[in-house]
Amino acid sequence: MTAEPVFWKRCSTCKKALPFESVYWECNVSTCNRPRTALAFCSVPCWDAHVPTLRHRDAWAEERRSPRREEWERQQREEATRSERAAARAPAGASPASPAGGPAPREVLVIASRLKAYVRARSGMNTSDAVLDVLSDKLRALCDEAVRRARLAGRQTVLERDF
């Protein structure tokens, strides 16, 4: 049993509640609007406060309207359904449980700036941010296999030879 949400989101700067069906401000910079980040601001001054922190060169605030409660709840249900389907499709061992029994964290495992610098130095090419998630998934698979090998060897430590 979950409590019904009272507001849509909180302001990314001052943490004031942003109600459903209300005006809010969004940064025009794409990195501020990704699903993971999704910054929302209650006012232009709150938006303006984040600009120096993220060092935007050319940015502006765009006025938006928050969704109706029903729309937001539907989006949340669809997202949960998609996550469940993805988990069901994942190969066995793709997302092992942590020692505490919960799922392993799904964070980026590489340092973006170093990866991008390496690719640029080797090829002169740029690297998309989407590469980080794919590469992290590949690293997780390699680590899962190394953990399996360490367990087969009866060790509690993953060694370089397990890779």
Q: What is the pTM of this model?
A: 0.50
Question: 3-class SS at 123?
Answer: helix
What's the longest Cα–Cα distance across the chain?
59
Instruction: Give me the residue label for tokens 């996550």.
Output: 83
Q: Residue 43 burial (CB < 10 Å; 0-12/13-18/19+)? A: middle
Q: Would you state the pLDDT for residue 98?
A: 56
Dihedrals φ, ψ of 9, to 5°? Answer: -150, 180
The predicted pLDDT at position 62 comes to: 92
Place of tokens 């409590």: 3
Q: What is the pLDDT of residue 103?
A: 62
No. of helices (H) and no. of strands (E), the chain: 4, 4
pLDDT for position 2: 57
Angle formed at CA 98 by CA 102 and CA 138, multiple of 5 degrees: 115
Each residue's pLDDT, cut to its tens digit, for the chain (163 residues) gives 456 778 899 999 999 999 999 999 999 988 888 887 889 999 999 999 988 877 888 889 999 999 999 998 898 888 888 878 877 776 555 555 555 555 666 788 888 889 899 999 999 999 998 888 899 899 999 999 999 998 988 889 999 999 8
